[in-house]
Amino acid sequence: MTRRRTLRAVPPLLAAVAAAALLAGCAADEPAPAASTSAAAEAPASQAPAPSVTPESGATPEGTLLVADFGGDTVTFVDPERGAFDRVEVGTAPYGLVVGKDGRAWVATAEGVAVVDTEKRTRLDRIPYKTRTGPATTGEYRGGGMGIALAPDGRRVYVGVNVPGDNGVLEVIDTGTRKVTDTVPVGRRPFDVDVSRDGAEVYATGHDSFDVTSVRTDTLRTERMEVAPYGTEGGLGSWLKPHYAVVRPSDGKLLLPFEGERLAVLDPRTGKVTVERMTADTHQHGATMAPDGTLLVVGTGPIASDDQDVSLTIRDPDGSERVVDLDGPHEDVAVSRDGRTAYVTGGFTRDGYWNGITIVDLDGTASPVRLAAGERPLGIAVL
């Protein structure tokens, strides 16, 4: 592969949301245009529709989707067949979220980590960061929590905190006391945080520093591992940076997709990176893994004239891929518990986002369906 880019069966759902204008990428570490500019004006709706569907009982139904409303201060509960039915206020510009076996959701906002009882749909707490990140603001470059992950035993939450203009910080939260117990320096703008299967290591993906920082959970010892299959030319101005990672259960290696061309496979034991070919040929962000080991990767759209449009890559464990075209920009993805359906959020960290989710049948027997839900929905989990 040549180095191309440098900076020099789902039931009927709610009415589809019109496609938004796409401004893909996340290059320089400077404020992006406000969402109220022309890009947002072309988006289908600047405000999310009010939740109108009520669950049959007071408890939240199994299979409900929970999305972080990056364009507001709430999380939205979404029935994947009928649409949004409730919201809970959590704090300014919620980004990532994670849900434990006890049903508590931990949501990374600009103001702190909110704790939500997803069964009763109420906020239990909001834990302030120890790290100073400036005033709580909105947008791609806002300070505060970004990637977030939960220890396998549920006793710790790890959140990557963006510090505008400086390196990021991993904050460790005791889920019992709901207090920050430790802070650890990591790379710039920690888009994603992941945990090894045994809970011994946490991995913070530093978008603006081209790296993954490994943190030992017992000693808090860190190791920086560069992940830059295109090199680091352009620095903060480069588009070719890591975004989201997935820990592969079979061997514990981290999978980081780049540009629909290269899958960086990082061995955290050695720091060595190998590269496998990908086929979507588009800028890529969110990623997750289905129960059978299928890797799902969100393509956000072109950053060069010869790139392909928005898509979802479905990559089998043997490396074969199927690319599903999507309509309008998207950011993150979650998969149903049975592994048959993917839910792709339309929030997008850049301009051109839309207020909805695309539902993709992973068997390929039905076309993708767009569902209006949330307010610039970004992080997503299946309850």
CATH number at residue 262: 2.130.10.10
Domain membership of residue 12 (yes or no) is no
CA–CA distance, 290 with 279 (Å, rounded to integer):
19
Question: Does 22 map to a domain?
Answer: no
Distance CA 236, CA 316 (A): 33
Q: What share of the chain has pLDDT > 90, as a percent?
A: 82
Judge whether 101 lies within some domain.
yes
Average pLDDT for residues 274-300, to the nearest whole number?
97
Cα–Cα distance, 143 to 128 (Å, whole number): 13
Q: Which two tokens stand for residue 121?
A: 């749909």
Residue 318 lies in a domain: yes
In a domain? residue 258: yes
Sorted by sequence, the CB contacts under 8 Å of residue 183 that are 6+ apart come out as 130, 131, 169, 170, 171, 172
Q: What is the per-residue pLDDT across 191-224, written as a single tens digit (0 to 9) for each? A: 999 999 999 999 999 999 999 999 999 999 999 9
**Helix, strand or coil for residue 208?**
helix
Q: Does a structural domain hold residue 58? A: no
Classify residue 60: in a domain, yes or no: no
pLDDT confidence band for 58 (50 / 70 / 90) = confident
- Domain-embedded: residue 79: yes
Sheet holding 113-117, edge to edge: 97-99, 104-108, 113-117, 122-127
- The domain tally of the chain equals 1
C-alpha–C-alpha distance, residues 101 and 315, integer Å: 27
Tokens 């999310």 found at: 48
pLDDT of residue 2 exceeding 50, the answer is: no
Which two three-digit tokens encode residue 224?
Answer: 């920086």
The more confidently predicted of residues 16 and 115 is 115
CA distance 343 to 356: 10
Q: What is the mean pLDDT of residues 294-320?
A: 94
| 323 Cβ contact list (under 8 Å, min separation 6) | 260, 279, 280, 299, 308, 311, 312, 313, 314
- DSSP code per residue over 209-247: GTEEEEEETTT--EEEEE--TT-STTGGG-S------EE
Of 205, 255, 262, 203, which Cα lies nearest the Cα of 231? 262
Measure the CA dihedral 279/282/283/284, to 10°: -50
Lowest mean pLDDT among 82-86, 118-122, 302-306: 302-306
If phi over 0 gives left and psi between -120 and 50 gives alpha, with beta otherwise, what is residue 197? alpha
Q: What is the extent of the structural domain holding 145? A: 38-53+66-382
The residue written with tokens 């530093």 in the block is: 206
3-class secondary structure, 277: strand
